[in-house]
Structure 1
């Protein structure tokens, strides 16, 4: 049981699940539509930021809200492997080789093998799991909604160590997924702190406060790091609600650069570019090396946006009406849009392999989109 009250990231970003009309006043520069759709058993649940798709090599891996695991071919959506686990996932999937990991509302971490067509092990934790796990170096790291970080042996599920972070009375419904890198596990907490630990011993190496609680009321003092941490360019990129966007040195935790941009959703980084959507639904592109602004676009402020993703020459953003918008990576102008699913709005976090854009919709379709 989680003692703290929670609010959703969608609510904090001003989001709703209402149907929105198509964008107006913008001419489409390219034709943007579905390339293929594959029906699966279960959709993306009710929280857009919770479920995901993992693109690796030439396949996609995902878990649905009904606990069905899939591996699909990226080229045409053909089913490669499928396993019904019988569990009720509360968050998306992570992948380490052939093993897939996901958490449940009952606080169970599930490890399954599609090749062996079975659940390998489960581990009961202290509360529901609201993000993917971090994987690497023979370990799996997971954060639960009550502030516990647990590191386990990836092969057996045996708990190796854990640490507790005190969480505020009111938090965003969601947690940051840990990152395992170079003998460290790094994660962000609802307290607004990013912490790094020795992966083997659990000893804390450093911490840095990205969120800075200010204001009279609890909702004004929310500082959660609920968006994904990103490790790229030798830096850790983190953003907090009512906090800052910060690039940290993973060795020391010292900020390399920082911007007064806050968000309840994550960032995407590709090469020297970073894109983020702030809590007012303004889309930014920044120089990932120094944080300087390349462009910003506030034309979608009323459309309630989810996490952005780089896709070829564009930044793709999903609104809560289910429309996916393509913003030119150079100018920031909206040049195309399409519905992810005509029957129901929103969907999972998107992922791109540069050739296509993939999303799991609430109506149980995995959809690949492309433009020409």
Structure 2
């Protein structure tokens, strides 16, 4: 279990398994998925084959976390989940008590399915609630209703201890009062983890089209920031720790899988469009279901890789570090990237420290409460653009 300042897990790594299937397309989503479930059997076979082909990447480490993301992994049957988990255990060394997370939508979580999942290897649920108001859910084109959201949580907390829910703020026409009611409703179920993101208008999504046509007006940045600060203050009062800008967990309930990403631990991404990282290289699979399946049927990995430069590694560490309670360790910058990077970081961060957006304590640079919502923009100003 995690404490506020501990590392997320030991010397192993994580497996991310991307299930690129959904019942319907959410208007805001730009992740890779398909609403056609006709190739589900072939997709699962391909995922199993990729797991087998890539087992060498974990030859010397334990798998500490297994994360089913998507898409909508809860469209899988229990037998299909068991099949994939069994494949992992067959080809990898797995820790004694791995965190195994399933992302799920409320409309998939009948009482019977929750009870069955509780008896399966899955020990953590991440439920895509997004909102407890039908107005918001319809705008997002979610497949569930507000009532289904409530029912799924009511049943889930009876059978799972480790539950996270997703909420979206900065919605068009979402008042501060309605956002407050969303937070209060979420807290009423006693869940130990909440992930909450500002709605972003991604290019080529239905939501972007609505905005272009003037059918909806996005929330202002100022209102979204108010939503964030209300969330932050409320959850901290309830004993949550904002260990990453969008993630709040009770002590012992931080997401081990996600913490690995932010602390730049090794992870292997399985499935179409999934990304991988080993500390030196990044890899990404092709974002096309048909091509992915055909490649794996031939025993080929449909994957591209790039070796990260020192500048790339520095920029990624700054970006992820500023989003978390672990911050950016200046001593690590000097040791791993060199004196020039350390001096540059201190020089570029000076104005943000003077403005009270960043703080440097015990050689760790981190955001203040005032600077949290602005972390991504601040990080961009700390990036090393060139080495001259």
**What TM-score does the superposition give when structure 2 sets the normalisation length?**
0.27
- Structure showing the higher strand proportion among its residues: 1
- Structure showing the higher helix proportion among its residues: 2
**What TM-score does the superposition give when structure 1 sets the normalisation length?**
0.28
